[in-house]
Amino acid sequence: MSRVKEQTEQFHIGDNVRIKESIRSPYAGQTGTICDVENAESRSEYLVRFPDYLRFRYTAEELELITIAA
């Protein structure tokens, strides 16, 4: 049986995101902005900047896109 890698959402620089609740994620539940994307297969490819200017790297599974209804 082959394993199919689950499709994850692609985020882009400037996207507003919320950090999913997890005891392993710094700033869980907080919102921030994607400020860097590393396309290499690294463990944490998205750098998120928070309003207090701290930055942490996260995987796509740890993030959810914030959308604003028009």
**pTM for the model:** 0.78
Q: Where are the domains of the chain?
A: 16-65
CA gap 27, 23 in Å, rounded = 9
What is the predicted pLDDT for the residue at 46? 95
Q: 16-65 in CATH: which number?
A: 2.30.30.40
pLDDT per position as a tens digit, 25-40? 899 999 999 999 987 7
